[in-house]
Amino acid sequence: MKKILISACLAGDKVRYDGRQVPLTNALLSQWDGKGLLVKVCPEVSGGLKIPRLEAQIVGGNGWDVLKGAARVIDIQGHDVTSFFIRGAEYALSIAGRFGIDVAVLKEKSPSCGVHHIYDGQFASRRIPGCGVTTAVLKQNGIKVFSENELDQAALYL
Ligand code: SF4
C-alpha cells in the first residue's frame, strides 16, 4: 500500500499553535499506523514557526488566494507570517515527493491544513468554506487531500 501524508497533530504530536495535540482515534488510522503507512508533517513547524506560537488565520481569502498573492496569513497580533506558511507547505510537498505519496489526510479548519473549511480571518471563531495553504499546494501538485472526517474516501485511493 502507498504511504499517506498526515497532519502531525492528528497523529498525536504536540505541534499545534497552543502546544496541544488533537489525536484522532479511528480504526482505519490505527490500521494504517500499524502498517507503517503514516508520514507525519506539521507544515507550520517545518516552515519555521515555534511551539507554542500565536494563532494565525488567512485574511482576505483562502489557501489558493495566498498562493496567488491575493491573501495573507496574519497572526492574532497582526504579524504577517505568510512566508512561514508557504515554506511549510513546500516542505510538505517535498516530503510527499520523497515518499511517493499521492494521498494526504489533513486537519480541518487550520490555515495550513484545512481541507474544506478555514476561519474567516477575524479571530472570532467563524468558519468559511475554503482550504489552507498546504492543502492548496498539495492539490496544485496532484495530491488528493482529505480531512480527518474523510478517512473512508482516502482509503479508496490507497
Ligand atoms: Fe496540525 Fe497542520 Fe496545524 Fe501543524 S499546521 S498543528 S499539522 S493542523
- The CB of 113 under 6 Å from ligand 1? The reply is yes
pLDDT digits (tens, 9 = 90+) for 48-88: 999 999 999 999 999 999 999 999 999 999 999 999 999 99
- Give residues with Cβ within 8 angstroms of 149, minimum separation 6: 108
Q: What are the cell numbers at 150?
A: 474523510
How high is the mean pLDDT of the chain? 97
Closest ligand 1 atom to 113 CA: 2
pLDDT digits (tens, 9 = 90+) for 91-101: 999 999 999 99
For the cut 90, the answer to whether the pLDDT of residue 1 exceeds it is no
Burial zone of 22 (CB within 10 Å; 0-12 exposed, 13-18 middle, 19+ buried)? middle
Closest ligand 1 atom to 17 CA: 6
Name the nearest CA neighbour of 20 among 8, 11, 9.
Answer: 9
CB 130 within 8 A of CB 32: no
Closest ligand 1 atom to 15 CA: 6
- 56-85: string of b/e by CB count within 10 Å (b at 16+)? bbbbebbbbbbbeeebbbbbeeeeebbebb
Strand 127-129 to 117-119 pairing: antiparallel
Rounded to two decimals, what is the model's pTM? Answer: 0.98
Give the Å distance between the CA of 98 and the centre of ligand 1. Answer: 20
- The CB of 107 under 6 Å from ligand 1? The reply is yes
